[in-house]
Chain A
Amino acid sequence: MTKALVIARLTFREGLRKKLVLGVVLLSVVFAALYVWGFHLFVQDWRAMEARRAASGATTVLPYEVFASAMVLLGLWTVNFLAGIMTIFASVGTIASEIEQGTLHAIVPKPIRRWEIVLGKWLGYATMLVVYIGIMVAAVVVTARIVGGYAPPNVLQAYALIVLVALMLLSLTILGSTLFSTVANGVIVFMLYGMAITGGLVEQIGTALDNDVLVRIGVLSSLFVPSDSMWRLASYLVQPRIAVNFLGPTPFGTTVPPSSLAVYYSIGYAVVMLVLAMVRFQRRDL
């Protein structure tokens, strides 16, 4: 087990060095700066509108928090999306490319069990993602608080759920890298991730149109890759009820939160994918 931690530390350090990861970090910094600026403009705009309304004697239709909440939701959706990209970029070649390059050939014959190598890699990337998502969620929430004077509810639960999304994708990507070459794995995982996002959208459209077939397609896709359903739950929790009711089914949220069963399913999914990766790597000739 301590050997797994050795691998985890190495993986964490290595992850930070990856160009693709650095790219996502850079993108995140740009996003955070734009987000602060955007939120600032939004607040100004809101105040100007309020002033006009007050001048014309009209009453406010909706409270400020509905709009501020929408801003937070957009911010967190972007964080969730970037975290997904970051996960896949960081771990897509973790086993496959190291077999191709031969770095594993000096590691595997050491007195370390193969599952410890897989677990260590998972832990290393998981740590990186927990830190990354933590910083990004904090950036969004702190911006809302300081620039917008708004504090969304259930921030910690939403954070945990976005982390869960990333961990599911991480397990899936690592499993893929024990099965396929780096490039093939990248293509496959991105397709699945895209499918999950699209499936989530289809489900929301189905809900809006009251169309059962579309909803079922969405549910099926979230059984296959439950990343989007966990995001929906996060989005539901992080908005005040009034905002959920007002916005209705949106591309970024939902009016029907997934059940706690879905959460267990997602946790189980992350664990099972990781265990499958360990089993597969155990049997693989290098």
Chain B
Amino acid sequence: MTARGEPASATTWAIETRGLRKIYGDRVALEDLTLTVGYGEVFGFLGPNGAGKTTAVKMLVGLIRPTAGTGWVLGRPLGDAHARRQIGYLPELFRFHDWLTGEELLDLHAQLYGLSRAERRRRIPEVLELVGLTDAAHRRIRTYSKGMQQRIGIAQALLGSPRLVILDEPTSALDPLGRREVRDVIRRLRAEGVTVFLNSHLLSEVEAVCDRVAFVNRGRVIAIGPLDELLRGELVVEFRLGALPDGTLAALERIVRVEDVRPGERPTLTVRAPDEATIARAVDLLVGAGVPVYGVVPERRSLEDLFVRLVEDGERPPA
């Protein structure tokens, strides 16, 4: 099912997929997944529930087979055992053998990674320390809180010192503090040159750590690229002004897109601009027209807006 070879593509990217498709009966779980993730990148994989994110992730780690399409992970075909040696994976809905202690669980998974006894003795305390579970190492996982279980899950993914870490909704069960800890772990991995594939519907999460993102909806990638590129054209600013002479608004609209006007003695405009220089030109125009400018307040434009817009429009953002 998976074509072998093509070493050129295989060495360039940590993950490369072409037209991956998954159909269960007559239900299409994944329409067409085509994307590339570079080595050392922290890659965000975003989409609403049911978009096919988890299906895609499961294909990358060999849990399910694609109906069509091909893919390579770390230069190997999907599901390749050698590649899996270098992949750390945190499943979305997972349960561990909760009668084991944290340390026993890590020992089990370290053995599955093929670590020797000496390596295990060195590595297990390291990852326990990394996720802050050193004190709970000898407690049964059954007694762990949800956040602790999630952290032991991250710990097992890091045991094999992987080159690629795939995290499926790693923070959904965590409180804000736990989220920050996960974020710190991801940043540390990036500093070590590890490629991270982060599947999340939490945009703030992705925004905080990812270099590049892909948006998926209805089983296909609807936008992909570096964050700042995707967010270009997403600069939204609120102008707090004095009285607007006739025609000024029309002139302004030739420079920026006016999205909202709240009239009054001191009208407030919400405008969208591709970049800051355009905003400056808009301010110049207003000042030139004698309009008092009381405030220029950049609205925090986030992935969330882009996300919502992309999903609603179902269209590509302007290049």
Contacts and interface: CB of A to CB of B under 8 A. Distances in A.
A109 B81 CA distance: 8
A108 B97 CA distance: 14
B112 A103 contact: no
B113 to A, nearest CB: 6
Nearest to B107: A6
Given A285-B64, A286-B58, A111 B91 contact: no
Interface in A229-286: 283, 285-286
A15 to B, nearest CB: 12
A106 B64 contact: no
A103 B99 CA distance: 12
Interface string A85-106: 0000000000000000111011
Contact of A103 (B58, B62, B82, B95): B95
Given A103-B94, A106-B91, A286-B58, A111 B156 contact: no
Contacts of B90: 106
A107 B87 CA distance: 12
B102 to A, nearest CB: 14
A110 B90 CA distance: 11
Contacts of A111: 81-82, 84-85, 112-114
Interface string B292-303: 000000000000
Contact of A109 (B63, B96, B97, B114): B63
A17 interface: yes
Contacts of B153: 106
A106 B81 contact: no
A243 B112 CA distance: 53
A105 B94 contact: yes
Given A17-B99, A105-B91, A286 B114 contact: no
Interface residues of A, number: 20
B65 A285 contact: yes
Tier of interface size on chain B:
20 to 34
Contacts of A109: 61-63, 84, 87, 89, 91
Nearest to A108: B63
B108 interface: yes
A106 B111 contact: no
Given A10-B108, A101-B95, A285 B84 contact: no
A14 interface: yes
A102 B153 CA distance: 12
Contacts of A112: 81, 112
Contacts of A101: 95
B94 A3 contact: no
A109 B60 CA distance: 9
Interface of B: 58, 61-65, 81-82, 84-85, 87, 89-91, 93-97, 99, 108-109, 111-114, 153, 156
Which 7 residue pairs of A and B lie closest in terms of their CB atoms, listed nearest first? Answer: A109-B61, A285-B64, A105-B91, A110-B112, A111-B85, A286-B63, A111-B84
15 contacts: A102-B91, A102-B94, A105-B91, A105-B93, A105-B94, A106-B89, A106-B90, A106-B91, A106-B109, A106-B153, A107-B112, A109-B62, A112-B81, A283-B65, A286-B58
